[in-house]
Structure formats: structure tokens, C-alpha cells
Chain A
Amino acid sequence: MREAYDLYLGLRRAARLMVGVPDYDTYVAHRRLNHPEEPVMSYEEFFRFVQDRRFDGSGPPRCC
């Protein structure tokens, strides 16, 4: 059961990363740990932020 749930989470993370959305929990954990004094984006803000950035020319182009 536990393995199945982990697999689901892994697939979910993979699917989100495929469309350019990194793991939100990892982001929050990182901010809390390393920058406890700074504000953390809500999931909605985080989503809009990464969505805008995916095609802003900073990343690699899409493949053929």
C-alpha cells in the first residue's frame, strides 16, 4: 500500500516536472530551512511564477 502511494507520488512529481512545475513541497522545505525570515510563495503564487518562467527564453528551446 505504502509502495503504491509512493509510486503515485513519484509519478505525480515526474508528470509535473515534465510540464515545468517543480515539486512545491521541496521548495517550501528549502525556503523554511534556508531562508526562515523570508516569505514563502503560496502554491498558487508558486504555480503562476513557474508557469510564466517556463517559456521566458531563459530555458532551453523545445525539441524537434
Chain B
Amino acid sequence: MNRVLSGAAWVAAVALLVVSAAVIALSRGETINALWIVVCAVCAYMVAYRFYGLFIARRVVGLDPARTTPAMRHNDGLDYVPTDKYVLFGHHFAAIAGAGPLVGPVLAAQMGYLPGVLWILVGAVLAGAVQDFIVLFASTRRDGRSLGDMVRMEMGPVAGVIALIGVMLIMVILVAVLALVVVKALVGSPWGTFTVFCTIPIAMFMGVYGRFLRPGRIAEMSVIGFVLLMAAIVLGQPVSESPTLAPLFTFSGEALALMIIAYGFCASVLPVWFLLAPRDYLSTFLKIGAILALAVGIAVVQPHMQMPSVTRFIDGSGPVFSGALFPFLFITIACGAVSGFHALISSGTTPKMLENETQARLIGYGGMLTESFVAIMALIAACILHPGVYFAMNSPPALIGTDAATAAQTIASWGFAITPAELEQIARDVGESTILSRAGGAPTLAVGMAEILSGLIGGRGLMAFWYHFAILFEALFILTTVDAGTRVLRFMIQDLLGTAVPAMRNTQSWGANLVATSLAVGAWGYFLYQGVIDPLGGINTLWPLFGIANQMLAAIALTVCTVVLFKMKRQRHAWVTILPTVWLLICTLTAGWQKLFHPDPRIGFLAHADGFSQALAEGRILAPAKSAAEMSRVIVNDYVDAALTGLFMAIVVAMVVFGVIWVRRALATPGVTVNEVMGGQAPAGARHA
């Protein structure tokens, strides 16, 4: 009877999926309720989890409930602890959820909501969740080894080094592009800048409180921190309206970039308990809370999608990012559909806490589906805005000018009628002087979230509060990533330099610490500053680079998964990882190629450099440069970006070549050649504590 009931429920889920997809597909030329997209997504996830996830668990990798996990073998009560699957799901989700799935879909909304929704759903089900799941599985069978270790174990030391360099480069670009998102959100916004500045003393107070006054009382210090944060948002309004205080918190992009660079340096040499850890508590809890609030908000408010399902910008002429739907949509929405970064998390702390191998499906596959749902919500938040508002916020001043009248006129000429008064009204609603050219995704998401949350609580009167709440929530966890990312980079650099100069490896030494931190901050600071002074907004250049890097990492992770499947002699089902690997290769290599050699200077780095070189030779000065020296710097930046893109492409090609070599070797060997750690073995490196 139960089986019949459950069968009926699944038929109902599939039917609902079909109906909601049909509603989305057939509503041509009229707005649809965002709830249809939510229903479609949830049904797609349920069906995928129940059928494809189970297929992978049973047939493709063959999860074995009788096999001991690292948590069982090395149980030390601390790192290796068998953990309840729902508790572990929370841990894993909090670790993979970041700013990526919030920003990417917002940028991709320029092509309409349909391409984004489809890629987020199909990508997560067939690529992203598969990657997270199989990497988690593979790491669990190898004592919770990291991705880099697994590449070394299964594909040799050279492949391991290449993968590590890839990870290091992606960290640099990630921190730079996320810092740029914060800069873009805070330029000329005294309210936002004031509240974000306030997080620093608030976190320090929490740090001292949780370390010395009331050690370890996480809930207490988080509640105190939260109340202070809310107070900071409320106080931000009078500050932004005060003629004496507002100028103190109004900065240009360049100034903010230098401040974030200095801040990143300080934050990563200070002890973690003082600034990083307490802000991590705030940002983690706020992130989970804001995601839940957004889900409730969309369900209750049921906004309509104002953005057309597909816009004319699929041809690549869009103002938000340049490049056609293929391949750039698939690069822009990286996290949320497939994110190579998750492979680092799935091979991090999570595999050390699995109670049973079979739970890898819920945590790996299910965790990514949940992340994908966050991306769907971000896309909804961007698409319920008037398209005119969306394009006003996301187009660079070089295209729409700097006043509402010009902007409205330009955007109307693109086919999205809007009046200057409407643009000014939105700015007043959210308590900002202007909403023009607030690129980077965060402000757009914040306006969308403010629309939804003010519909839930407070009405129009609280729009400005919710807007700055959303900005703060994004800035908070982006800055946590900036700190933590700088720290990780610092350790990677120390490790790398340590091979040449052993003294560099000492993480306790101040000298080595300062040198490595300076290198780390200098690397991402360079790209951040370059992005800030870019007349097309920087996001235009950096986000595709980040997308390419992230998809490149995913291709590496999926290649390892494929090699593992072949070595396990499970190649019959290896198409499950080969399919997304091939797709990612096509996307990253095409996008990389176009970023290098596309004749349109808005897309191709080399074409852009050529344009500037030619102008320089003729003695002309092109914006943003104001002198010949700055012209030369723009050209250098272009070549650096081009070199980096080329490097990403070389890394991914090299990894695939290694993958093919190892697959052939596995095929030529009759037995199973995989390097798994078996149940009864002794702990690898006795654990301390």
C-alpha cells in the first residue's frame, strides 16, 4: 500500500512539473507568477533527487551501506565524527552557499529569465549535483582527502600540481570579483558604507565577548551582534541624510577598493577570534536567515516576473556582460548550476563526518539542489523588477550616461519603456541618491529582495530598510570570504614558496606571514583595482574570468570523478560524469577563446588591447585613461587578463589529457586499480586532540 501511495505521489510530482513547465513555456508575451517557476524548480529537484540521484547512488558509484566511513574509522570526537545527516546537511550547505549563486543569475537576467532558469535546473541536476555527490563519495572512500590529494593519488603528481595552481588562481579571481561586487554596491552610498563599516567594530566586540567575557557563548554573541547590526542599518538613514556625516561615508570606487585591500591585509594577519570568526558567525546565520526569508517572501507575496522570458540581448550585445548566450550564459551562471568550488568543500570537512556512505546522496546531491534553488530565487528577485530598472542599475555609465533622463531615454530605445521619474522614485524608495549603474548584481538583488520582503513585512515604508539589510547581508558574507580567501591564499603561497625557501613555510613566523599575505592581497588587489577603474564596470571583465575559472575547476573535478569510475571498473555508467565534463569543456574553451580572440573589443582582450595600442600610436587618449601612461596600463591589464585566460585554458586541457591517459591505462588493466582506503586499515596519520 505504501509503495502504491509513494508511486502515486511521484506521478503527481512529475505531473506538477510538466504543468508548471508548460505554464512557463506557453505564457508568451504576458507576465507569469514567480510561483510557477518555484513549483517547476522544486518538482524538478524532487524528481531528479528521487530518480537520477538514486541511480547514481546505486548503479553509477554503488554506495555501500556496510562500508565504514572515515568518521567511523578515525573517530576522534572532533574532526572525524559520525554526524546526524540533517545536521551535516546544514554544515555542508552553509559551506557551499556563498555570493556566487546570488550574483551570477542576476547578471544573466539580461537575457531574460528563461535561459537562466533552464540552465540553473538542467546544470544543477546533470552537472553540479553530480560533481558534488561523486567528489564527496570519492573523498569519503579516501579518508576525506582533498581534491588536490585525490588528483595526485589517481592521476599522478604533475596533474596534482597543475590542479593546485588552478585552485590558487581561482582563489585570486574569486576574491577580486567578490570585493568588486562590494565596491560597486557601496560607491556613493553613505547609508550602505556606514552600515558595512559598522560591522567591523561590532565583530570586534563580539570577538572579545566570545573569547574572554563569555567564552564560547555563540548564540549570545550572535544575538548581540545581530541587534547591533540592525541598529547600524537604522542609524544609517540619519547618517546618510546628515550634511556633515554623509560626506564622511561617501567614497569613490577607487577609494573603496584601496580600503578593502588594506582591510583584507589587516584582517588576515589579525588573530581569527578578533574579527574573522565573529563575522563568520554573523554572516553564516544571516545568510541562512535571509535565504529562508526570501523563500517565504516569494511564496507569500507571489510576485510577477516583469522581465521578458527571452530578451534581444541573447545575441551578445547586452549592456550587463558582453557575449552571446552560448557560451557566456553558462559561464555567467557558474555557482547555482555547477560550481567547481564545491568540489573543494565536498572533499573538505564533510566527508570526515559522514555516518554512512549512503548519506552522500542527501548531502552531496541534495545540498547542490538546494544551492541551485537559491540561484533560482536570486533570478526571480532580479526578474520581478521592471526591466527598465534592471537595465538602469546594471548598465555602465559609458552606455546610459549619468543622469536619469539620458538613462531612461537610452533604455527606452532598447525597448524597455521607463520614465526618469520612475528611476528617481525607486532611488528614493531605497534611500539612495541614484540607482544608475549600480552594477555587480548585489544592488539589483537588494532591490528585488526589498520588493519581496517589504511585501511581507512593512510595506513601501520599509523598502529602504530592507534594501540596506540585503546590501549588508551580501557585503557581510562577501567580506568574510575576502578574509578567509586571503588567508587560504596566504597558506597556499607559503606552501609553494616553502619548496624553494623552507623558512617561508613557518606559519607562525611574522616575516613569512607578512610576505605571503602581501603577495596574496597584491594579487587580488591588482584585479580589483583594475576592475574598479574599468569604464565598462569591471564586472564585465572579471565575472567571465571568474566563471571560466570556476567551470574549469568543475571540469577538473569531474575529470577526476571519471577517472575514478574507470579505475573502479564502473565505466559502463561513466557517461554520467563524461557528459557534464564535455559540456564544461566546450563552454570554458569556447568562452576562453572568445575572451582572447573575439574581434569585438568588448569581448576579446586582445582586440581591446589592439584598439588602445592603435589609439596610443596615433596619440589619442581613450577613456578611462587620462594620459598616455594610463593608456599603457590598460594595455598591460588586457595582456594580463589574456594571459590568465590562456593559462586557465591550458590547465583544463592538460587535466583532460591526463584524464584520457589514466582512463586508457585503467581500461588496459584487467583489475580494479582505484586507490581507495579499505575498511580495516589503520588511521592515516594519527589524529591529535
- State yes or no: do A and B come from one complex: yes
For residue A48, give the distance in angstroms from its CB to the closest CB of chain B: 7
Known: A18-B94, A47-B216, A63-B345. A26 touches B81 (CB 8 A): yes
Shortest distance in angstroms between A32's beta carbon and chain B's nearest beta carbon?
10
On chain B, the residues within 8 Å of A52 by CB distance are 271-273
Q: Which residues of B sit under 8 angstroms from A31, Cβ to Cβ?
A: 77
Known pairs A10-B86, A47-B215; A63 contacts B78 (CB<8 A): no
Closest to A57 in B: B491
Stretch among B97-105, B324-332, B441-449, B577-585 lining the A interface: B97-105
Bound: A52/B280 CA distance, A: 13
Question: What residues of B have a CB within 8 angstroms of the CB of A29 in the complex?
Answer: 77
Q: Which B residue sits closest to A61, measured CB to CB?
A: B488
Contacts of B84 in A (CB 8 A): 10, 13
CB within 8 Å of A: which B74-100 residues: 75-79, 81, 83-84, 86-88, 90-91, 94-100
The complex places the Cα of A62 from the Cα of B364 at a distance, in Å, of 17
Complex Cα spacing A28 to B550, Å: 40
Cα separation A57 to B284 with both chains bound (whole Å): 19
Q: Do A23 and B81 touch (CB < 8 A)?
A: yes
Contact, CB under 8 Å: B345 / A60: yes
- Whose C-beta in chain A lies nearest to the C-beta of B101? A64
Cross-chain contact B285 with A51 (CB below 8 angstroms):
no
Q: Counting CB contacts under 8 A, is A36 at the interface?
A: no
Q: Output the least CB separation between A62 and chain B (Å).
A: 4
B485 close to A61 (CB less than 8 A):
yes
* Residue in B91, B210, B342, B484 whose beta carbon sits within 8 Å of that of A14 in the complex: B91
Shortest CB distance A11–B (Å): 8
Indicate which residue in A30, A55, A57, A64 contacts B550 across the interface (CB closer than 8 Å): A64
Instruction: Decide: A49 and B689 in contact? CB cutoff 8 A.
Output: yes
The smallest beta-carbon distance between B512 and chain A, in angstroms, is 13
CB distance from A34 to the nearest CB of B (A): 8
Q: A54-B277, A57-B491, A60-B347 are in contact. Are A30 and B77 (CB under 8 A)?
A: yes
Contact with B along A1-43 (1 / 0, CB 8 A): 0000000001011111111111100111111001000000101
Counting CB contacts under 8 A, is B276 at the interface? yes
The answer to whether A62 and B91 touch across the interface, beta carbons within 8 angstroms, is no
Set of chain B residues within 8 Å of A27, measured between Cβ atoms: 77-78
List B419-462 residues whose CB lies under 8 Å from chain A: none
- Taking A19-B218, A30-B75 as contacts, is the C-beta distance between A62 and B480 under 8 angstroms? yes
CB-CB under 8 A from A61, the residues of chain B are: 171, 341, 344, 484-485, 488
Give the one of B95, B216, B219, B483 with max A CB within 10 A.
B216
CB distance from B287 to the nearest CB of A (A): 9
How far does the alpha carbon of A49 sit from the alpha carbon of B96 in the complex, in Å? Answer: 24
Q: Is there an interface contact between B281 and A17, defined as CB atoms closer than 8 Å? A: no
What chain A residues lie within 8 Å of B335 (beta carbons)?
63-64
Residue B211 CB within 8 A of the other chain: yes
B485 & A62 in contact (Cβ 8 Å cutoff):
yes
Contact B98 A51 (CB under 8 A): no
Set of chain A residues within 8 Å of B280, measured between Cβ atoms: 19-20, 54
B342 touches A18 (CB 8 A): no
**Which residues of chain A have C-beta atoms less than 8 A from B96's C-beta?**
63
Query: Which residues of the other chain, B, contact A18 by a CB distance below 8 angstroms?
Result: 90-91, 94-95, 284-285, 288
With contacts A19-B280, A57-B487, A63-B97 taken as known, whether A48 is within 8 angstroms of B341 at the C-beta atoms is: no
When the two chains form their complex, are residues A55 and B276 in contact, meaning their CB atoms are under 8 A apart? yes
Is B507 an interface residue when CB atoms closer than 8 A count as contact?
yes
Residue B545 at the chain A interface, CB threshold 8 Å: no
* CB neighbours of B77 from chain A (8 A): 22, 26-31, 34
Taken residue by residue from 477 to 490, chain B's Cβ proximity to chain A (1 for < 8 Å, 0 otherwise) reads as: 00011011101101
Q: In the bound complex, do residue B86 and residue A14 qualify as a contact, i.e. CB atoms below 8 Å apart? A: yes
Whether the Cβ atoms of B83 and A62 lie closer than 8 Å is no
Which chain A residues border B178 with CB–CB below 8 Å? 64
B349 within 8 A of A: yes
Q: How large is the interface on A (under 10, 10 to 19, 20 to 34, 35 or more residues)?
A: 35 or more
Contacts of A28 in B (CB 8 A): 77
Which B residues are CB-close (under 8 A) to A44?
215-216
B174: interface (CB < 8 Å): yes
Please, which residues of chain A bring their CB within 8 A of the CB of B189? none
Q: Is B339's CB within 8 Å of the partner chain A?
A: yes
Among A12, A28, A54, A60: residue with most chain B CB under 10 A = A60
Q: Give min CB distance, B688 to chain A, whole Å.
A: 10
Chain A proximity of B488: nearest CB distance (Å):
4
Contacts of A10 in B (CB 8 A): 84, 86-87
Return chain B residues, CB-CB under 8 Å to A57: 487-488, 490-492, 507
Nearest CB to that of B550 among chain A residues?
A64
Which partner residue on chain B sits nearest A64 by CB separation? B100
Residues of B within 8 A of A14 (CB): 86-87, 90-91
Shortest C-beta distance, A52 to chain B (Å), equals 6
The smallest C-beta distance from B65 to any residue of chain A, in angstroms, reads 22
Q: CA separation between A35 and B565, bound complex, in Å? A: 39
Q: Does B562 contact A (CB under 8 A)?
A: no
Known contacts A60-B347, A61-B344, A64-B339, A46 near B98 by CB under 8 Å: no
Asked whether B272 lies within 8 Å of A62 as measured between CB atoms, the reply is no
Contacting residues, chain B, for A56 (C-beta < 8 A): 272, 491, 507
Task: Give the residue name and chain of the A residue nearest to B87 (CB).
Answer: A14
Q: Which residues of A contact B490 (CB under 8 A)?
A: 57
Q: Would you call B273 and A48 a contact (CB within 8 A)?
A: yes
Task: Say how far A40's CB is from chain B's closest CB, in angstroms.
Answer: 10
B401 at the interface (CB under 8 A from A): no
* CB neighbours of B86 from chain A (8 A): 10, 14
In Å, the complex CA distance between A41 and B77 comes to 12
Query: Residues of A contacting B276 with CB < 8 Å?
Result: 55
Q: In the complex, A22 Cα to B546 Cα: how many Å?
A: 33
Determine how close the nearest CB of chain B comes to the CB of A36; give it in whole angstroms. 13
List residues of chain B with CB under 8 Å of any chain A CB.
Answer: 75-79, 81, 83-84, 86-88, 90-91, 94-100, 146, 171, 174, 178, 210-211, 215-216, 218-219, 271-273, 276-277, 280-281, 284-285, 288, 334-335, 339, 341-342, 344-345, 347-349, 480-481, 483-485, 487-488, 490-492, 507, 546, 550, 689
Q: Knowing that A51-B211, A56-B507, A64-B174 touch, tell me 17 more A-B residue pairs with CB under 8 angstroms.
A: A14-B86, A16-B218, A18-B288, A19-B281, A20-B280, A22-B81, A27-B77, A34-B77, A43-B216, A47-B210, A52-B271, A55-B484, A55-B487, A61-B341, A62-B488, A64-B100, A64-B546
| 15 residue pairs A–B, Cβ–Cβ below 8 Å | A15-B219, A18-B90, A19-B94, A22-B78, A51-B272, A51-B273, A55-B272, A55-B277, A55-B484, A57-B491, A57-B492, A60-B347, A60-B349, A61-B488, A64-B100
